[in-house]
Amino acid sequence: MQCPSDEPAANPPNRQPDRRAPVQGECIMRAGRVVGMSPDGTITWAEHLEAFERYAAHHGRDQNAERVAARGGFGINELRILLGREPSTFEASNVGP
């Protein structure tokens, strides 16, 4: 029988390098009118966790990062506010007419 190791897993679930979280597209407004829609997409899990930590600091931890992702992720504008910048790992997933 082998004893469990105290060493962390090579890629724990919340730090998987290839894991991505969904991002919800949102309406693009100009002068109070909808002029388009930004695409849905994904960001790396690491960037999602960064945004979630800032979200949790303001709104608490009633839901965790997994739950936010399961519910469709943050909106693109919400990410911009939480991160204070454009998400650097955003990849659009539904580009088209």
Query: Does residue 63 lie in a domain region?
Result: yes
Residue 43 structural domain: 18-92
Q: Kindly state the average pLDDT of the residues 80-85.
A: 97
Over the stretch 16-70, which tens digit does the pLDDT of each residue have? Answer: 678 999 999 999 889 999 999 999 999 999 999 999 999 999 999 999 999 999 9
Q: Cα(10)–Cα(16) distance, rounded to whole angstroms?
A: 9
Query: Does residue 13 lie in a domain region?
Result: no
**Domain total in the chain:** 1
Tokens of 7: 């060493």
Q: Kindly state the average pLDDT of the residues 80-91.
A: 96
Per-residue model confidence (pLDDT) at position 5: 44
Distances (CA, A) of 44 to 16, 62, 72, 92: 9, 22, 14, 12
Confidence (pTM): 0.77
Per-residue model confidence (pLDDT) at position 17: 72
Query: Does residue 32 lie in a domain region?
Result: yes
Q: Cα(51)–Cα(90) distance, rounded to whole angstroms?
A: 13
